[in-house]
Amino acid sequence: MPTFRLPLARKGLPAIAFLAAGLLAAPALAANTDPNVSLVPAESLEGNFLSAYVAGSARDTAAASVFYREAIQDDPRNQELLERAFVAFLASGAMNEAVRVAERLTARDPSNNLAQFALAVRSLKDKKYADARARLDKGNRERAADLTATLLSAWTYAGSAKNGKKALETVDRLKKEQAFNQFRQYHAALIADVTGNTKEAEKRFKAAYEGERNTLQVVDAYGRFLAKQGKRDEALKVYQTFDETVPRHPIVRTAMEALKEGKPLKPLVSNPQEGAAELLYGLGVVGNTQGDELTAIIYLQLGLALDPDHSLALVTLGDVYERLKQYEQANAVFDRIPKDAPVRASADIAIGQNYELMERGDEAISHLQQLMKERPDDVEVVMALGNVQRSRKKFAEAAETYSKAIDLIGEPDKGHWILFFYRGTSYERAKQWDKAEADLKKALELVPDTLPAGKAQVLNYLAYSWVDQNMNIDEAFKMLKQAVELAPRDGMILDSLGWAYYRMGRYEDAVRELEKAVELKAGDATINDHLGDAYWKVGRKLEAKFQWNHAKDSDPEPEDLAKILKKIEAGLEDEVKPAAAETAPAPEQAASKQGG
């Protein structure tokens, strides 16, 4: 889901990135993140510290908080321990505890950047704007070059008797920082709007929009501002332009429906607390984009302390936890999204998908089936259920579910190619080839040329299936050559081309392509099995058995394993030919074959 994306120099994140990274960073040790295992504090200070250290290394902030909480009870004056606990409390969203520890840290060291920053956010939340500014001054000695402190200070001026002039002057201290230009114009527009300076707000919104038309938050804030000024047609055009680039985003779709129906649109930001939360959300997205999960989590948690219902901050925080494979945490965050938020529907789907990733497949299916009852016309929900069924190898059921989604869409357009592709692969795996072939051809007809990776996957799957059944070999070979041109670094597609050469009896060519495929996807059982076959045909029998052994150890399908073991024992017999349903990639094995 696209959110706020802006380039940002690393020096824009000093208040958090440098301190937090050092305090929770540790060697790559494994933490226990199984949600079914309760966290039991150790009986000693050393045990709790070590457990917290390991949890922190795995970015399991919830577990780190539990153990640091126990550790500081045993050694409450240990400065390093307090600093580490403080970061863990911030990252886990335990704001009351974080603030208490921050007060202790700043009492000893008033220049502690991160602690002063957290206390400034607390003061801003409590509308103690002068105190917030004072803390930002104490915690950062180069505030003019610091995006975070400068813009937060500007929002405190916006809250101090709505001093819009001083707030905008503060924002414009960043003029020399070109990397911050979009942030500067965007927050200047929001501040001008909140403080009642409509003329300045319109000028700044236009500048922010012209600089980044594909940033969701800029588009949404500008569209809402225009609507408030009675310029509903202009607002609709702003949303429609975004929709052409990023179709069917729920926030944009909801706004366009409201405009067409004459309904009002609430401003994106109505007060300094929401404005500061919007800033922290944007910085959290930047941290997430840069792969700095801890920084992202802390910014997002601080933003949510100011605006607990900021739906995109919750979405982004859940996304971070998903990337860290902390699916239980992600689901807890997604469940906090307000029920009436446009993104709640997508979050509900993500919850079901995360159950599947936690190997709680029955819960995943039950959850998605309940969503289908609540939203029977929601194609995305139906498709998500089909995806889970396909992942669990319930191919006939998945095909039936995809059929329900296809029935809902009516006349398909290019955006629906993926539905026919997924149903086609499900039919193929369910050994209903005639239906599979028809769907794969339909997917190939619909997939746009602007999606070369998607087109390559459809070409590959259809052509591979033909090759594996000794059907339409010449046409399949041409399609596979085209697929390789579209995705030259895709190991599964190179495997398909190599297998086509093998079926045509061109074994040297097969070896060449299959060796490339193995280099790109070394642990795939099918590719190693195919390369073993090709080696055998060109007389490289020792290497063939090595590849078959590698295939055996790479978790092949049960029916394939039996054939691989036979080849290891007796070599390749001429009559040994894998059947289509036996060598077609499993869904979890062939994300590349299915376009992810």
41-50, 144-153, 195-204: which is most confident: 195-204
What pLDDT is recorded for position 40?
61
Residue 508 belongs to some domain of the structure: yes
The arithmetic mean of pLDDT across residues 426-441, rounded, is 97
Around Cβ 79, how many Cβ atoms within 10 Å? 12
The arithmetic mean of pLDDT across residues 500-527, rounded, is 94
Residue 69 belongs to some domain of the structure: no
419 by Cβ neighbours in 10 Å (0-12 / 13-18 / 19+) ranks as buried
Query: What is the DSSP secondary structure assignment for residue 313, as one 8-state letter?
Result: H
Supply the range of the domain harboring residue 535: 459-583
Residue 547 belongs to some domain of the structure: yes
Give the whole-angstrom CA distance, residue 204 versus residue 172.
Answer: 12
Rg (CA), the chain: 28
Q: Tell whether the model's pLDDT for residue 242 goes beyond 50.
A: yes
Residue 537 belongs to some domain of the structure: yes
Distances (CA, A) of 344 to 114, 287, 371, 457, 516: 32, 23, 12, 31, 43
Q: Is 472 left (phi over 0), alpha (psi -120 to 50) or beta?
A: left
HSE-CB for 310 with a 13 A CA cutoff: 32
What pLDDT is recorded for position 219?
97
Q: Residue for token digits 């070109």? A: 178
The arithmetic mean of pLDDT across residues 359-370, rounded, is 94
What pLDDT is recorded for position 30?
34
Q: How many domains does the chain have?
A: 1
The residue among 49 and 579 whose pLDDT is bigger is: 49
The residue among 576 and 314 whose pLDDT is bigger is: 314
Non-local CB neighbours of 294 within 8 Å, separated by 6+ positions: 20, 21, 24, 25, 59, 61, 87, 91
The arithmetic mean of pLDDT across residues 46-52, rounded, is 67
Mean pLDDT of the chain: 86
CATH of the domain at 544: 1.25.40.10
pLDDT in tens, 370-395: 999 999 999 999 999 999 999 999 99
Q: Tell whether the model's pLDDT for residue 474 goes beyond 80.
A: yes
The arithmetic mean of pLDDT across residues 246-252, rounded, is 90
Q: Tell whether the model's pLDDT for residue 402 goes beyond 70.
A: yes
pLDDT band at 539 (very low <50, low <70, confident <90, very high): very high
Looking at 46-50, 324-328, 345-349, 526-530, which range is the least confident one?
Answer: 46-50
Q: Residue for token digits 């302390």? A: 305
Closest CA to 155 of 195, 122, 209, 204: 195
Residue 189 belongs to some domain of the structure: no
Residue 570 belongs to some domain of the structure: yes
Residue 279 belongs to some domain of the structure: no
Residue 332 belongs to some domain of the structure: no
Q: Tell whether the model's pLDDT for residue 56 goes beyond 80.
A: no
Q: Tell whether the model's pLDDT for residue 579 goes beyond 70.
A: no
The arithmetic mean of pLDDT across residues 531-542, rounded, is 96
Burial 518-539 (b: 16+ CB within 10 A, else e): bebbeebbbbbbbbbbbbbbee
What pLDDT is recorded for position 578?
40
pLDDT in tens, 108-128: 988 888 999 999 999 999 999
* Range list of H helices, 109-160: 113-125, 129-139, 147-159
What pLDDT is recorded for position 41?
64
Contact between residue 172 and residue 147 where contact means Cβ atoms under 8 Å apart: no
